[in-house]
């Protein structure tokens, strides 16, 4: 293991720190004893250059635009596996060995899709216009009260039950958030349908089509829609130590119930500059309203005196095309060819935004490219998913990643409670 020497030019003192080797990506300076050794803090607001943990789950190369889950590129995984396969992969470390194993795991998730009757009654207290991310965060927190004996369940070592339970239930919660908001009756999961098909069935199932709000009539759920949603969820499954995953790990570090930690991750993901961006992309395209207004909005995005930012563009880590956006762009084109597309005027605006931004020096100099949210918002619209469900669907996708990260944290015997320091500027 190499070392790095730090010289304090004020005192002339020098200090040596170990360099931590990693299997991919940048090394890290082991600063865990920095304060103890030097009496000085490191300062890195937003943690742009700081590793808060060791992990083996996902790897991101921001320069190359690369994302791997446990060493396998996402481009390979989306081609050959279902989302429930990837859930198994992330929480247990193994991909299904065969069709039978894949089906067995998917069946387990379906059986876990039913909600406690008391949990369903919680929907009565939420106003129709409640944002589903607020509802989801509350429901997941309440889920911890229904499994209070969790710590005694004896599986705290591998947390598999905890993970499979919440991965199984989250699609039902998301579907019920929408059904509740339009006054439609809840539909029980149908265990003869796959995990993804079940979600679309609970979301759209009859007598939904009689509702004036309805955005779909009585229609069969197509294989193409199931395949598209599978890919979208796989691409969202994990993404290193982003804001919401860091929140889950930080809250888990206090020893709290896993579902309380995940509930906090849902709240963090809701933010419009994080997971909430997919919903904001659609609202922004509608705000732009016409292709001829695009240049005006791009100018606003570049104006330092204007807080307007181009939703779906830029990323803390990717200074190249988000690899997930590339896969989604191909998926969008495939759906277009099959006639599954959003209203053409919105599609034209999105295309113009992308063209202008990608050719503009302001965006190129700053490495601002379309990210996962730019295309997921467009595709979910084409799939006729209600806009307010875009971020809840991000929650569905990220659930296995949060569980895997939480398991990794809790299984680490050296994991400590998160407790950053501060640069004090007060009196």
- Footprint on this chain of ligand SDX (rule: CB under 6 A): 239, 242, 273-275, 277, 301, 309-317, 366, 368, 371-373
Would you say 211 and 184 are in contact if contact means Cβ atoms under 8 Å apart? yes
CB of 275 to ligand SDX, least distance (A): 6
Strand 14-20 to 28-29 pairing: antiparallel
CA 277 → CA 6, 313, 368, 389, distances in Å? 40, 9, 15, 12
CB of 45 to ligand SDX, least distance (A): 10
Question: What angle is formed at CA 274 by the lines to CA 271 and CA 276, rounded to 5 degrees?
Answer: 55
Of 236, 257, 315, 409, catalytic: 315
Q: Which is nearer to ligand SDX, 101 or 360 (CB)?
A: 360
Helix (H) or strand (E) holding 14: strand 14-20
Give me the least distance between CB of 30 and ligand SDX, in Å please.
24
Q: Could you tell me which of 324, 306, 339, 424 has the C-alpha nearest to residue 372?
A: 324
Q: Which of 237, 173, 175, 125 is closest to 386 using CA atoms?
A: 175
Q: What is the largest CA-CA distance in the chain?
A: 78
- Burial (0-12, 13-18, 19+ Cβ within 10 Å), 182: middle
User: Is 315 labeled as catalytic in the residue annotation?
Assistant: yes
Closer residue to ligand SDX in complex, CB, 133/310: 310
Residue in the structure block whose two tokens are 């796959």: 194
CA end-to-end span of the chain: 42
Which of these is catalytic: 85, 238, 322, 373?
373
* Nearest distance, CB of residue 384 and ligand SDX, angstroms: 23
406 Cβ neighbours under 8 A, 6+ residues apart: 159, 248, 249, 252, 258, 261, 262
**Residue partners of 326: CB distance under 8 A and separation at least 6:** 65
Instruction: Supply the DSSP string of 119-177, one letter for each residue.
Output: HHHGGGGS-TT--HHHHHHHHHHHHHHHTGGGGGSS-TTT-HHHHHHHHHHHHHHHHHH
Select from 354, 303, 294, 289 the least CA-distant residue to 325: 354
* Closer Cβ to ligand SDX, 108 or 279, answer by number: 279
| Whole-number Cα distances in Å, 204 to 134, 163, 201, 311, 394 | 22, 26, 5, 28, 19
| Alpha helix positions (H), 312-389 | 323-337, 344-359, 361-365, 372-382
Other CB atoms within a 10 A radius of the CB of residue 56 amount to 11
Nearest residue to 396 (alpha-carbon basis) of 169, 225, 200, 189: 169
User: Residue number with the shortest CB distance to ligand SDX?
Assistant: 314
Active site residues: 315, 373
């Amino acid at each position: 293991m190499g070392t790095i020497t730090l010289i304090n030019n004020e005192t002339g003192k020098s200090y040596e720190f170990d360099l931590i080797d990693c299997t991919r990506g940048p090394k890290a300076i082991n600063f865990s004893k920095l304060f103890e050794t030097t009496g000085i803090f490191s300062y890195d607001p937003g943690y742009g250059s700081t590793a808060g943990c060791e992990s083996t789950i996902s790897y991101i190369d921001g320069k190359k635009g690369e994302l791997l889950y446990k060493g396998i590129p996402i481009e390979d995984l989306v081609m050959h596996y279902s989302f429930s396969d990837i859930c198994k992969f992330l929480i247990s470390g193994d991909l299904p060995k065969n069709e039978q194993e894949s089906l067995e795991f998917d069946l387990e998730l379906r059986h876990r899709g039913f909600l406690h009757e008391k949990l369903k009654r919680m929907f009565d207290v939420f106003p129709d216009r409640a944002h589903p991310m607020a509802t989801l965060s509350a429901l997941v927190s309440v889920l911890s009260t229904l499994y209070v004996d969790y710590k005694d369940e004896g599986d705290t070592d591998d947390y598999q039950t905890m993970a499979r339970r919440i991965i199984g239930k989250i699609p039902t919660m998301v579907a019920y958030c929408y059904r509740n908001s339009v006054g439609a009756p809840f539909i029980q999961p149908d265990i003869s349908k796959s995990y993804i098909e079940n979600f679309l069935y609970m979301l759209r199932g009859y007598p939904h089509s009689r509702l004036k709000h309805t955005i779909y009539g009585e229609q069969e759920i197509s294989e193409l829609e199931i395949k598209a949603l599978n890919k979208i969820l796989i691409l969202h499954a994990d993404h290193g130590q982003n804001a919401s995953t860091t929140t889950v790990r930080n809250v888990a570090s206090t020893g709290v119930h896993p579902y309380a930690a995940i509930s906090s991750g849902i709240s963090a993901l809701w933010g419009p500059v994080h997971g909430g961006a997919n919903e904001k992309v659609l609202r922004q395209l509608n705000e732009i309203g016409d292709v001829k207004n695009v240049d005006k909005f791009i100018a606003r995005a570049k104006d330092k005196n204007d807080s307007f930012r181009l939703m779906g563009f830029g990323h803390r880590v990717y200074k190249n095309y988000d690899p997930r956006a590339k896969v989604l762009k191909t998926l969008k084109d495939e759906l277009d060819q099959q006639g599954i597309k959003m209203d053409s005027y919105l599609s034209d605006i999105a295309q113009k935004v992308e063209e202008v931004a990608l050719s503009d020096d302001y965006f190129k100099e700053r490495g601002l490219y379309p990210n996962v949210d730019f295309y997921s918002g467009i595709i979910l619209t084409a799939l006729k998913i209600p806009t307010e469900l875009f971020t809840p669907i991000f929650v569905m996708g990220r659930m296995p990643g949060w569980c895997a990260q939480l398991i990794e944290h809790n299984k680490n015997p050296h994991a400590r409670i998160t407790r950053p320091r501060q640069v004090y500027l007060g009196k």
